[in-house]
Structure 1
Amino acid sequence: MATVELRFSPLPEHVRTARLVAAAVARRAGVDEAVLDEVRLAVGEACTRAVGLHQSGGISAPVRVALIEEEKQFSIEVGDEAPHAVAPAGASGAAPDAADDPDAEGEDEMGLAVISGLVDDVEVSAGADGGLIRMTWPTTPATLLP
């Protein structure tokens, strides 16, 4: 299992770099060329969500991205350190906490909905110490040229 880890300051301008690196590593891992745009978009949504949560919470800790190449699949984990009042069940999320900003909650749910529409295998977890979005795609083994 090969893993590439990225950590970047929670600034929107770093999201593009994370998308480009994710697409390059996904291509090398054997993710189908036709799916690479979805990988880029999903990573962009997840990273934008994490950056937004960090900025709205005044958190300066870096956003974490892990690109994990396994035998028959490629996974991307995007982690934030923003405290979440209630952990979402699956990608659909949970009811907003009364103290949360309703606009921020709506944007958060929209981002998760976009990710769920782009990726078939998505896991979302969140708690007091932060959240994690894990997205997984199948890979095809590289064929050797004669």
Structure 2
Amino acid sequence: MATVELLFSALPEHVRTARLVAAAVARRAGVDEAVLDEVRLAVGEACSRAVSLHTGHGLSSPVKVVLTEDEKKFSIEVADEAPHPTAVVSTAGAGRQPAAASSAASASSSVSAPPGGPSGATVAGEDAESEDDMGLAVISGLVDDVEVTAGESGGLIRMSWPTTTPPVPA
């Protein structure tokens, strides 16, 4: 089982590099060429989410991406260290609704208007959470096997794709 680890500063310009590395490792692992665009997009969404969370919480720690290949599947984990107020665990698999991860995440992280404020008031952070939910919906629509976990010590998105050809020898 081969593994590639990528650590990058939580800056938007590094997301493109993570996408390119993920596509190259996925191709080497034997992921079908027709799926490589989905891998790139899913990794881009997951890394953008992690960068946004790090930036929003003022964290200087790097975003971690782990790419693992084995005989039957190629897996990617994108980890952030941002605290999530409520633990979230959701899994979307074959035969599930594509937005399963998104609905579980949004159900656990609701934001309400401050007391005494107008009912239509926008709370700081609400837009970020909406973008977060949208990113998770995109990921779950692209990847059949995805798991999202989050807690006070950070979050993790695990994604995997089947491989169709044996990995290229090193």
Question: 1:105-126 CA deviation, whole Å, 9 max, x = no partner?
Answer: 1010000000001101000000
What is the rounded CA distance, in whole Å, between the counterparts of 1:21 and 1:9 in structure 2? 15
- Residues matched between the structures, number: 144
SS of corresponding position for 2:71: coil
Give yes or no for contact 2:7–2:62 (8 Å, CA) kept in 1.
yes
Alpha-carbon distance between aligned partners in 1 of 2:27 and 2:75, rounded to the nearest angstrom: 12
> Among residues 109, 119, 137, which one is paired with 1:113 in the alignment?
137
Structure 1 alignment gaps of length 5 or more: none
Report percent identity of matched pairs: 73
CA contact (8 A) 2:31 2:165 kept: no
Residue 93 of structure 2 corresponds to which residue in structure 1? none
Aligned to 1:54: 54
Q: State the 1:104 CA deviation.
A: 1.1
What amino acid does structure 2 have at the position aligned with 1:82?
A: A
> What is the 5 A alignment of 1:32-111?
32-90=32-90, 91-92=101-102, 93=105, 94-98=107-111, 101-111=125-135
TM-score norm. by structure 2 comes to 0.81
The question of whether the paired residues in 2 share the 8 Å contact of 1:85 and 1:97 is answered with: no
Gaps of 5+ in 2: 91-100, 113-123
Q: Which of structures 1 and 2 has the bigger CA Rg?
A: 2
After TM superposition, the score normalised by the length of structure 1 is: 0.93
**Closer, same or farther in 2 for the Cα pair 1:143/1:13, shift >3 Å?**
closer
* Pairwise CA RMSD: 1.6
Alignment partner, residue 128 of structure 1: 152
